[in-house]
A = this chain, B = another copy of it.
Amino acid sequence: MLLDGSCFRLAEAGPFRVGRKALAVNLSDIAAMAAKPVAAFAAVGLPRRGGRDIAEELFRGLRSMADQFDTAIAGGDTNSWDGPLVISVTLVGEPMGRGPVRRRGAQPGDWLFVTGPLGGSIHGKHLDFTPRVNEALQLHAVVNLHAMIDISDGLATDLAKLCAESRCGAAVRAEAVPISDDARKMDDNLSPLEHALRDGEDFELLFAVSPEDGRRLLADGALCQIGECVADGLWLERAGTREPLAPQGYEHKLE
């Protein structure tokens, strides 16, 4: 569910990119299980003023993602109200050959990879990212994915989730974390590495494989080995030292 003013600002992003993102975040969740997307259901709460134009652009955005990933828009629900734009998409997927990949299944000694550079997605990638559906299906076909998650709340936070489900720990090598150009453009008191570790909504995949499978994947220049699974704890290694890696990232706050 994407909410105007919280997950995006309609006036800045425009309805096409919001519709695109509403399906893309779901495609990213399906990718994280190495499944194939099948059919999407979209419900919208449209502001009364300009609602028809917004609806048409939203649908064009949904359609662009659906076409790109061969997914049906199979149903949904249309409402108008006095509030801001809300869109909620549910996506049905189909497990592939080896079955769905889960967050649990990583083991100490496994190698950890990410599918692309991280951090600073607020500069635009959070709206315009390409969900890693095809990459996940290709990986699933050639290696045994022990555990996988998409990075929506930040590398450190999502790694902590994967480790908690797998009942193991992880050590990340600072110099191995791929830092995006957008992370380097951030102008605040956090370093580019901290942005790569903490920022949400990169929607790259984080996964664990055996060292044998990991060695086979190193030939693929798009994949970055960022560390290994260990018995317990979350650690950041740099310059020969190891410090705790706090699972800081995006959290929804309630009062």
Contacts and interface: CB of A to CB of B under 8 A. Distances in A.
Q: Could you say how many copies of this chain the assembly holds?
A: 2
Q: Say which size band chain A's interface belongs to.
A: 20 to 34
B254 A3 contact: no
Nearest to A43: B1
Given A6-B79, A77-B88, A48 B253 contact: yes
Given A45-B1, A45-B3, A252 B80 contact: yes
Nearest to A6: B81
Nearest to A46: B254
A254 B6 contact: no
B252 A79 contact: yes
A51 B254 CA distance: 6
Nearest to A2: B79
A97 interface: no
Interface of A: 1, 3-7, 41, 43-46, 48-52, 55, 77-84, 86, 88, 90, 92, 252-255
